[in-house]
Every structure is written in C-alpha cells, then in structure tokens.
Amino acid sequence: TDFLTQAKLYEELLLAPHVGLALDPEWRLEPGQKHLEQIGAVSAEEVNQVSGWLADLTAEHSLPQKVLILHQFSHSMITERQDIDASRPELAITLHADGHGAPGDKLGTYATLQQDLPEGIAMAWKNFYDEDSPMFTPEQTYEVEPRPWFVSYQ
C-alpha cells in the first residue's frame, strides 16, 4: 500500500501535539521483491501527498509544528527528490541519513545525501550500536557538518 494510506491509519496518534511521522522507503518494495535483497523506493510525489495531508491535519487541529522524517541512505530511495515540497510551516521535514559502517563511509553517505537537497529540509544522523565500527561518540556526532538537527541511535 502507499504511504498516505498507511499514515492515515495513525491519524488518532498524529492528533497528539508532539507525535511526528517517519517514512522509510527502504521497506517499500514492489510485488515479488524481498526485504534485505532489494532496497525500496518512494517518489517525491508520494512524499508530497503525505506531507500535504499531515500539514493540513496539523493546521486543522491547531497543532504545533510536526516533524516528518524521511529515512534515506541511497539517492535511489527517493525518486525526483528535488521535487519534495518543504514549504509548509506546519512541518519540519528532516532527511535522516540512515547509513552505517565505518566513520568514513557514514560521512560520505551524509555528504552525498546533502547534494541537491531541497531547501527547507534539515539533515539528521543515525548511530548504530551494532553496525557502526566504531560508533561515533556523542562528541563526534556533534562535530558532523552540517550539525544534524536530529540524532537517533539504533
């Protein structure tokens, strides 16, 4: 199913003031594809459908700005990414650099994902406890440029 249909299933939760939404194209596969064998993808058009719906929901219910996180570690995961509309003030759209591995690999992925990033989208960083070798310390993470707007640990 599409991300908008899935997002609407969580409408009741999204009406809470501090609940945001994350979209992970990695797991968005076509029929016949298998998880961990292929990497899924989503179009900017579909992202815009979700962000428009979420921004409207936020405005209609006078909610504070919500975060919309887009997980990405490869350009192929979000097609036509330059067409993502990040202009709605109801949302803070964040690109979550979801790469893992050695520090040089992670920094390379982070730099690559910033290329042609639409204006208004903030960068985020993920540290993996088991897949990063070595994992960035909080101090090292704080030194990443541009400084991540959001950091997660998995």
What are residue 119's DSSP bridge partners? none
The count of structural domains within the chain is: 1
> What's the pLDDT tens digit per position in 91-117?
999 999 988 999 999 999 999 999 999
In terms of residue numbers, what domain contains 93?
3-27+42-153
> What's the pLDDT tens digit per position in 119-150?
999 999 999 999 999 999 999 999 999 999 99
34 in any annotated domain: no
36 in any annotated domain: no
Phi-psi region of 69 (alpha: psi -120 to 50; beta: other; left: phi over 0): beta
46 in any annotated domain: yes
62 in any annotated domain: yes
37 in any annotated domain: no
Looking at residue 98, what is its pLDDT? 85
95 in any annotated domain: yes
Measured CA to CA, the distance from residue 102 to residue 108 in angstroms comes to: 10
